[in-house]
Chain A
Amino acid sequence: MIRRLNWRRYGLVVVTLPVVAMVFLAAALAPFIAPYDPFELDVLMMLQGPGADHLLGTDELGRDILSRVIHASRVSIVVGLVAVAIGATGGTLIGVLAAHFGGAVDSVLMRFMEIVFCFPAILLAVILMANLGTSVLNAMLAIGIIFIPGFARLTRAVAQTVQRQSFLEAAICLGMGPVRLITREILPNVIGPVLVEAAVAFSYAVLLESALSFLGLGAQPPEPSWGNMINTGRGFIDQAPWISLAPGAALFVTVFSFNLLGDGLRDVLDPKLHD
Chain B
Amino acid sequence: MRIAAGTPEAMLLVAKNLSRTFRGGGMLRRGGDVRALNDVSFNLAENQTLGIVGESGSGKSTLLRVILRLTPYDSGNLAFDGAEVASLTGTALKDLRRRVQPVFQDPYATFNPRFSIGSSIGLGFELLGEHRRQDVREEVRRLLDDVGLDPDLERALPHELSGGQRQRAAIARALAVRPDLLLLDEPTSALDVSVQAQVLNLFKDLRRRYGFSLILVTHDLPVVGFMCEHLLVMKSGEVVERGATATVIGNPVSEYTRTLIDSAPEVSGTKTQPVARP
Contacts and interface: CB of A to CB of B under 8 A. Distances in A.
Interface of A: 165-176, 184-185, 188-189, 271-272, 274
B139 interface: no
Given A167-B109, A174-B124, A271 B68 contact: no
B24 to A, nearest CB: 18
A105 B7 CA distance: 46
A173 B100 contact: yes
A169 B65 CA distance: 10
B112 A188 contact: yes
A109 B189 CA distance: 39
Interface in B88-129: 94, 97-98, 100-102, 104-106, 109-115, 120, 123-124, 127
Contacts of B85: none
A170 B70 contact: no
Contact of B112 (A172, A189, A272): A189
Nearest to A185: B112
B35 interface: no
B159 interface: yes
Nearest to A189: B114
Contacts of B102: 166, 169-170, 173
Contact of A167 (B105, B110, B127, B159): B110
A167 B111 contact: yes
B177 A174 contact: yes
Given A170-B170, A271-B114, A175 B94 contact: yes
15 contacts: A166-B105, A167-B120, A169-B70, A170-B170, A170-B173, A173-B68, A173-B97, A173-B102, A174-B97, A175-B98, A176-B123, A184-B123, A185-B112, A189-B112, A271-B157
Given A173-B68, A174-B98, A184-B123, 7 more contacts: A166-B105, A167-B109, A174-B124, A174-B173, A174-B177, A175-B127, A189-B114
Interface residues of B, number: 29
Interface in B214-252: none
Contacts of B110: 166-167, 170
A176 B127 contact: yes
Given A174-B97, A185-B112, A166 B104 contact: yes
Interface string B134-158: 0000000000000000000000010
B101 A173 contact: yes
A146 to B, nearest CB: 29
Contacts of B68: 169, 173
Contacts of A167: 109-112, 120
Nearest to B120: A167
Contacts of B111: 167
Contacts of B159: 271-272, 274
A175 B173 CA distance: 13
A-B pairs, top 7 by smallest CB distance, nearest first, are A175-B97, A166-B104, A188-B114, A165-B109, A167-B112, A166-B109, A175-B94
A272 B108 CA distance: 12
Nearest to B94: A175
Contacts of B160: 274
Given A165-B109, A169-B70, A174 B114 contact: no
Contacts of A168: 112
A137 B101 CA distance: 52
Contact of A171 (B98, B123, B170): B123
B176 to A, nearest CB: 8
Nearest to A271: B113
A174 B112 CA distance: 14
A271 B108 CA distance: 13
